[in-house]
Structure 1
Amino acid sequence: MLITVTGGIGSGKTRFALGYAARISREGIYLSTGDHDPVIPELPSAHYRAIQAGNGQHLTEVLHQINRESNLFLADQRIVIVDSLTAWMAAGFRASDDLDQQRSETQLLLDALLSYQGKLLVITNEMHGSLYPSEEERIFAARMASVNRALQAHSEQMYLLISGLAVDLKDRGLRYED
């Protein structure tokens, strides 16, 4: 089960995601990049553990490792929270100037997210452009928006946070058709 929480910076995504996760799962793993807050937010219960996965580890590898070590019979009782996908992707973009390598890493990450067995809650940012973005910013924003669209297409639930208010996008009945 894939759940996506999106919104702007400081909109309340993490607080909402942790509260929501506590309502639907008895235990969880909070994967943090560690770059958005110096401290990990208060976790819902002792059955939740935090992993600082932003220091040199790649999210793709971490997700595959958790998936391999998971007991599929108990996977529905646990949720993995990724906070935030945008920060991981930005770190990948900073690590390499090779656009083909960036595209390949993005696809591997998306494949890992979509193949995860169990409940997965992904926190991501809505991409807003500036008046005069650099070429790098434009490419990153386009790639991030593309990943967000793929997550939306595969998510059972998707929430948009605006000033702490969550809007259930899948429940609104709005659909974009190609």
Structure 2
Amino acid sequence: MLWLIIGGIGSGKTAFAEELALTVGREGIRLFCPPFPDNDNTTTQRYEETNADFPWEYSAADETLAHKLNAINLESNFYRADRRVIVVDSLSGWLRSVFNRIEPDYPDAQARIDAEWQEVLTAIVAFQGKIIVVTEDVAAGLFLGSRERDFLYKLAAANRRLVETSKVLYRITSGIAAEVKGYRLKRRHLTNENIYTDRR
């Protein structure tokens, strides 16, 4: 079961993810990646200080993120999966770290980024337990370079894919969470959209 939390940088996504985890689970695993590669892990200390009754495990959301998600998925029995919630905070920070780690002059840099990105998205979508994914809403300014555009398009496509499989989408604006539900555009042959009647 996937909950998706989306919003701008500094909007309160992490704090809301913590509160949501306390609501839907009894224990948590936090896979943390800062929004920018040079940030430190300051929010982990706040989790430890404020949630003494809710046990948290912590691990870095690094280049092994997909393997960690798959391992948790495979090793969880039904009882444990029902009690435990995984928080990936944040997916957008993780993608930013991949771009930072794989420089454009590396051999097959684009293919390596694509492969790691798709592996992580596949692991999230295939996860059988409770998982909360924090990500950024995509916003672009003027005169972006090709690398920045590639990052934004990849993140936007991932957000759309995760919305399709999520239980609920929460949008965070200045610390206020709104549960987003609404109509989706019908896309030709798909029959599970709800803005137009199905045509067979």
TM-score (norm 2): 0.81
The 5 A counterparts of 1:137-176 are: 137-170=148-181, 173-176=182-185
Residue 76 of structure 1 pairs with residue 87 of structure 2? no
Name 1:33's counterpart in structure 2: 33
In 1, distance between residues paired with 2:185 and 2:55? 36
Deviation for aligned residue 1:162: 0.4
AA in 1 matched with 2:59? Q
Residue 42 of structure 1 pairs with residue 47 of structure 2? yes
Deviation for aligned residue 1:6: 0.4
Name 2:186's counterpart in structure 1: 177
Q: What are the Cα deviations for residues 93-132 of structure 1, in whole angstroms up to 9, with x where unaligned? A: 2222311221121111110001112000000001111211
Identity %: 34
AA in 2 matched with 1:28? G
AA in 2 matched with 1:19? E
Kept in 2: contact 1:72–1:117 (CA 8 A): no
Runs of at least 4 residues of structure 1 off by over 4 A? none
Deviation for aligned residue 1:59: 1.2
CA distance 1:36–1:87, shift in 2 (3 Å):
farther
The 5 A counterparts of 1:2-151 are: 2-34=2-34, 35=39, 37-40=41-44, 41-43=46-48, 44-54=51-61, 56-96=62-102, 97=104, 98-151=109-162
CA distance 1:12–1:156, shift in 2 (3 Å):
same
Kept in 2: contact 1:32–1:50 (CA 8 A): no
Which of 1 and 2 has greater Rg? 2
In 2, distance between residues paired with 1:176 and 1:18? 32
AA in 2 matched with 1:38? T
- Structure 1 unmatched ranges of 5 or more: none
Kept in 2: contact 1:127–1:141 (CA 8 A): yes
TM-score (norm 1): 0.90
Task: State the aligned residue count.
Answer: 175
